[in-house]
Amino acid sequence: MLTRLLVVLAVLGALASPAVATTVDETDIDIKTREVAKTLRCTVCQTENVWESGSPFARQVRENIRERVEQGQSAEEIRAYFLSRYGDYILMQPPARGVNWLVWIGPFAVLIVGGFLLYRTLNRWVTSTPAAPQTVEPLDEASRRRIERELHS
Query: Which residues here bind other proteins, judged by CB under 8 A?
Result: 19-26, 30, 34, 39, 41, 43-44, 46-49, 52, 54, 56-57, 60-61, 63-64, 67, 81-82, 84-95, 99-100, 102-104, 106-108, 110-111, 114-115, 118-119, 122-123, 125-126, 128-129, 131-132, 151-153
- Whether residue 69 contacts residue 78, with contact meaning beta carbons closer than 8 Å, is answered with yes
CB of 4 to other proteins, least distance (A): 30
Say how far apart CA 136 and CA 146 lie, in whole Å: 17
Q: Fill in the amino acid letter for 134.
A: Q
- Number of residues assigned to the chain: 153
Measured from the CB atom, the residue of 4 and 85 that comes closer to other proteins is 85
Say how far apart CA 65 and CA 61 lie, in whole Å: 6
CB of 2 to other proteins, least distance (A): 32
